């Protein structure tokens, strides 16, 4: 709800409410500076002044929106310096950005912290990139300036470079500083991201979703200052393990939103390796130079084939879930139609049964007993069991995949058959 008032309770509210000066201008602006704050009375006033200076230098009309859940004078100070204050329950950093969406008036958004570590007097780099048509703009402390003592050694030389390297390897991106809190995004792109993370995970989630959505992205160098005298950073407020906890949540986000990377291509590779081994041993043991391959290896290859096949299919499912706008899902939907899944599974099941037929015949011919030494029918039967497992996995995946597609189709859109 929208409230034009300046009195508030110091306790974090139970509902979201916007507080602003009734005399302040309203209506659309070019740029909204959206910054969560909690107990930042030492810095928030000067921070708002920095924002106003940055807007003036960049030559843009702007809104300064402080998303606040403080128990001190932070909101009162922010209001007195000309900001709007969105009072929200204390629910986490990522949730603060989600709560702010209905109150954003600009077509462009710049995010950051109200602790004076990010220099909001320098906004022109972001606004120039917005005017050039970029949808997502990351600030980079490593391409810019890091003041002495601004970043803990562990963050600067280990944690941030490592997790940045991991994300770039997973997605083929070229970011230099994925943990930089100062970043820009168009309102339209931010709404398309459909953010879910409630806490620190919002940072990698936003980057990963910019890649999933194929947004036009870039970086700008920024200045990163050390904490002001008397202010205790949120990392230190969270205790000695706060930074490690944030790092673990980043890894969790990388795995959660990058499941297709860990499943699809590795699954295909493992499936190909296993299928090749099964094919080589289908008629019995073989000798490859000094390496002898027998029934025990056959079991290993069958396992690789089954695990790889299931992983690849789960990767397809992850790709489909990540494709929230359904721009690429129709390609998978045409490939995994219900009829095609049934036909493929039935064919695999028939091949598996035929592969086992020889062993069943041998079993019956020998008075329901099998030979102690594995024969060709034994190898083929092991392969047949693996193929029947593939049939079952393919059929159950087809059911789940088509159920997912049906549940997410826009009303009135025709389904793909065949």
Find the CATH number of the domain harbouring 62. 3.90.550.10
128 and 225 co-located in one domain: yes
216 and 166 co-located in one domain: yes
In a domain, 130, yes or no: yes
Q: Which residues contact 138 (CB under 8 A, 6 or more apart)?
A: 175, 177, 178, 180, 183, 207, 217, 218, 219, 220
87 and 196 co-located in one domain: yes
Residue where a domain stops, chosen among 229, 257, 285? 257
Chain mean position to CA 368: 55
Percentages helix, strand, coil for the chain (3-state, rounded to 5) are 50, 15, 35
d(CA 298, CA 26) in angstroms, rounded, equals 72
pLDDT above 60 for 9: no
Average pLDDT taken over every residue of the chain: 87
Q: Are 18 and 76 in contact (CB under 8 A)?
A: no
190 and 96 co-located in one domain: yes
Three-state DSSP class for residue 63: strand
Res 271: pLDDT: 97
CA angle 284, 350, 368 (to 5 degrees): 60
pLDDT in tens, 350-378: 999 999 998 898 888 877 877 777 889 99
Q: Which of 136-150, 191-205, 317-331 has the lowest mean pLDDT?
A: 317-331
**Residue 4: φ, ψ to 5°:** -95, 85
Hey, what are 366's tokens? 């020998």
Q: How many residues does the chain have?
A: 418
Nearest to 67 by CA among 105, 30, 26, 16: 16
151 and 289 co-located in one domain: no
pLDDT in tens, 49-95: 999 999 999 999 999 999 999 989 999 999 999 999 999 998 888 99
pLDDT above 50 for 166: yes
Q: 377: exposed, middle or buried (C-beta count within 10 Å: 0-12, 13-18, 19+)? A: buried
State the DSSP code for 239.
Answer: -
Q: Which residues contact 178 (CB under 8 A, 6 or more apart)?
A: 138, 160, 163, 164, 167, 203, 204, 207
Res 6: pLDDT: 44
241 and 211 co-located in one domain: yes
Please name the residue that has the structure tokens 């499912």: 317
d(CA 120, CA 182) in angstroms, rounded, equals 9
**Residue 231: φ, ψ to 5°:** -95, 135
Residue where a domain stops, chosen among 202, 230, 257? 257
The domain of 240 spans: 2-257
pLDDT above 50 for 396: yes
- Total domains present in the chain: 2
Give the 3-state DSSP-derived string for 286-328, with helices as H, strands as E and coil as C: EEECCEEECHHHHHHHHHHHHHHHHHHHHHHHHHHHHCCCCCC
Which percentage of the chain shows pLDDT scores above 90?
58
Q: Which of 234-243, 272-281, 302-311 has the lowest mean pLDDT?
A: 234-243
Question: Mean pLDDT, to the nearest integer, of 322-331?
Answer: 70
Task: Tell me which H or E stretch contains 188.
Answer: helix 187-193
Question: Mean pLDDT, to the nearest integer, of 312-324?
Answer: 86
Residue where a domain stops, chosen among 224, 257, 290? 257
Pairing of β 217-224 and β 136-146: parallel
Instruction: Write the CA distances from 393 to 34, 306, 336, integer angstroms.
Output: 47, 9, 13
Q: Give the torsion through C-alpha atoms of 129, 132, 135, 139, to 10 deg.
A: -10
154 and 243 co-located in one domain: yes
In a domain, 193, yes or no: yes
339 and 253 co-located in one domain: no
Q: Highest-confidence range of 167-176, 183-192, 312-321, by mean pLDDT? A: 183-192
Please name the residue that has the structure tokens 């991991």: 166
Q: Are 383 and 302 in contact (CB under 8 A)?
A: yes
In a domain, 206, yes or no: yes
pTM (predicted TM-score): 0.76
In a domain, 180, yes or no: yes
d(CA 238, CA 364) in angstroms, rounded, equals 70
d(CA 124, CA 223) in angstroms, rounded, equals 13
Q: Are 321 and 196 in contact (CB under 8 A)?
A: no
């Amino acid at each position: 709800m929208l409230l034009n008032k300046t009195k508030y309770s110091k306790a974090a509210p139970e509902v979201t409410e916007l507080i602003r000066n009734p005399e302040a201008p309203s209506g659309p602006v070019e740029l909204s500076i959206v910054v969560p704050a909690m107990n930042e009375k030492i810095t928030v006033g000067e921070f708002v002044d920095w924002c106003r200076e940055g807007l003036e230098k960049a030559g843009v009309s702007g809104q300064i929106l402080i998303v606040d859940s403080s128990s001190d004078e932070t909101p009162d100070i922010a209001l007195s310096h000309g900001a709007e204050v969105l009072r929200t329950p204390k629910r986490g950093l990522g949730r603060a950005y989600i709560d702010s969406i209905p109150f954003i008036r600009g077509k462009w958004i710049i995010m950051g912290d109200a602790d004076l570590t990010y220099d909001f007097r320098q906004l022109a780099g972001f606004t120039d990139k917005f005017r050039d048509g970029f949808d997502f703009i990351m600030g980079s402390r490593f391409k810019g300036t890091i003041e002495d003592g601004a970043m803990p050694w562990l963050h600067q030389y280990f944690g941030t470079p490592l997790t940045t390297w991991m994300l770039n390897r997973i997605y083929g991106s070229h970011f230099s500083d994925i943990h930089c809190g100062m970043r820009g995004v168009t309102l339209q792109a931010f709404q398309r991201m459909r953010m879910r993370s409630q806490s620190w995970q919002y940072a990698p989630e936003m980057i990963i979703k910019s890649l999933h959505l194929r947004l036009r992205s870039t970086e700008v160098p920024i200045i990163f200052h050390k904490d002001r005298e008397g202010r205790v950073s949120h990392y230190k407020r969270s205790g000695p393990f706060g930074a490690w906890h944030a790092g673990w949540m980043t890894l969790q986000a990388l795995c959660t939103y990058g499941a297709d990377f860990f499943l699809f291509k590795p699954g295909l590779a493992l499936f190909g390796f296993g299928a090749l081994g099964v094919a080589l041993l289908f008629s019995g043991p073989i000798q490859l130079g000094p390496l002898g391959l027998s029934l025990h290896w056959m079991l290993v290859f069958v396992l690789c084939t089954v695990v790889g096949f299931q992983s690849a299919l789960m990767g397809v499912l992850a790709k489909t879930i990540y494709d929230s706008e359904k721009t690429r899902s129709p390609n998978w939907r045409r490939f995994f139609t219900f009829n095609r899944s049934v036909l493929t599974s039935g064919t695999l099941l028939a091949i598996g049964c035929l592969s086992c037929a020889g062993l069943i015949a041998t079993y019956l011919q020998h008075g329901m007993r099998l030979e102690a030494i594995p024969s060709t029918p034994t190898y083929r039967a092991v392969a047949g069991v693996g193929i029947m497992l593939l049939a079952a996995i393919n059929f159950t995946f087809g059911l789940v995949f088509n159920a997912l597609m049906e549940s997410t189709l826009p009303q009135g859109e025709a389904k793909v058959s065949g």
